[in-house]
Each structure stands twice: as C-alpha cells, then as structure tokens.
Amino acid sequence: MGMEYIYAALMLHEVKKKVEESDLEQVLKAAGVEPDPARIKQLVSTLSNLDIDEIVSQAAVATVAPAAPAAPAQAEEAKAEEKKEEKKEEKEKEEEEAALAGLGALFG
C-alpha cells in the first residue's frame, strides 16, 4: 500500500472526517495521485477495525523512545575525548620535563 493512501486517511481523520472511499479518492486526486479503487477499498476495510488515534499515539511514542539512548552514547564519547586530551597533555608535560632534565644535565 502506498504511503500516499495512508497520509490521505490520516489527513481525513485529523480533520474529523470519516475515512470513506469517496473522500480518500478526492484527497488522492487533489494530491495528483491516480487513485486505485482496490487499494482504497482495502484501506477503508482495514481502518474500519482500528483505532487510528491509538495507533498514532503509539507511533509518536515509538519515534521518541529511540532518541533517549543516544545521550549516554554521546556522553561516553565526550568522556573518551576528555581522557584522550588528558593523556595528550600528560605526555606533553612528561616530554617537557624530560627535555628540561636533559638541559639540566648539560649545564649541571
């Protein structure tokens, strides 16, 4: 089933109209889509047994939920970057101290 049929049904539902074959056909034609009567009939039949509001609310929750685990991953990446930076600074400090010790030995 093409998404344009689903979008048309959702739009009708959003404006509080019953999802009927004739209305779906009109919405699809207005969008520049040549409606397929068999697809329209199948969609209307399927939607007649479903609670569209419940499906939409579940879909909204499902799209929000996966975003939450990304934050810990970003935090771990930031910590790893900080550790790399600290190690780099420590290494530079050690190299500097070694260079100063070497100079001290020359003039010592």
Cα–Cα dist 35/28, whole Å: 6
Domain ranges of the chain: 3-67, 70-108
CB 27 within 8 A of CB 73: no
Chain segment 12-59, per-residue pLDDT in tens? 989 999 999 999 999 999 999 999 999 999 999 988 888 888 888 887
The model carries a pTM of 0.52
Question: Considering the domain 3-67, what is its CATH architecture?
Answer: Orthogonal Bundle (1.10)
Q: What residue spans of 1-107 are helical by DSSP H? A: 3-14, 21-30, 37-47, 52-64, 70-107
